[in-house]
Amino acid sequence: MATHSTTDQKGNNPSKYVTKDYGPYQLQDWWNDVNKMEAEKLLLLPCNPTGTFLVRKATGAGLFILSVKDYNLTSNDACVKHYRIRQLDNGNVCIIPKQTFESVFDLIDHHKNAADGMCCKLNVPCPEIKSCSVDVGVPNVGADLDKCGSHGDQGSTRFPPSKHEEHAHV
């Protein structure tokens, strides 16, 4: 049952308009509201170093998923490992039952200092941006950032302004 904030009328909310409140976790720089595939795309961006991580909601059993960028020495390529964070009956959280923490904050702080059974130590939270720029050695002197030629997986191509366009510098 919900109450309208201005009219005080009461009524039912359809479930598609109700979301679970993850409290303080959603406010953290390591929280991302993405699915597994989107998490892998974000973490595998070339600007993210090994140990870049994010926490997302779990779709099945478990409270959250901790996704971490790693490097696979066998295939000589970057990869992403996913760890299910479970909540125990006493309220503590864990990835493995032998090692429990009072909160997800404590779990993350611990794994920033030690891999302790994970693929690597947690390094930096994954930025929420959907792309990153990679310096390829081409200067963009005089480039108009509003004029985008193309955009792909490897970055953006930007065209300099034509000599017939006027530009106001703010």
Q: What pLDDT was estimated at residue 61? A: 72
Please report which confidence band the pLDDT of residue 147 belongs to, taking 50, 70 and 90 as the band edges: very low
More confident of the two residues 25 and 113: 113
Q: Is residue 169 part of a domain?
A: no
pLDDT (tens digit, 9 = 90+) per residue, 12-46? Answer: 665 444 444 445 666 677 788 899 999 999 999 99
Q: Is residue 13 part of a domain?
A: no
Q: Tell me the one-letter amino acid at 159.
A: F
Please report which confidence band the pLDDT of residue 144 belongs to, taking 50, 70 and 90 as the band edges: very low
C-alpha distance from residue 71 to each of 36, 81, 143, 150, 161 (Å): 18, 10, 35, 30, 41
Q: Is residue 75 part of a domain?
A: yes
Q: What pLDDT was estimated at residue 42? A: 94
Q: Is residue 46 part of a domain?
A: yes
Q: Give the CATH number of the domain where residue 27 resides.
A: 3.30.505.10
Q: Is residue 95 part of a domain?
A: yes
Q: Is residue 163 part of a domain?
A: no
Phi, psi of 15 (to 5 degrees): -60, -25
Q: Is residue 165 part of a domain?
A: no
The tally of domains found in the chain comes to 1
pLDDT (tens digit, 9 = 90+) per residue, 41-98? Answer: 999 999 999 999 999 988 877 789 999 999 998 988 999 999 999 999 999 999 988 9
- Mean pLDDT over 148-162 rounds to 44
Q: Is the pTM of this model over 0.75?
A: no
More confident of the two residues 154 and 59: 59
Q: Is residue 119 part of a domain?
A: no
Host domain of residue 26:
18-113
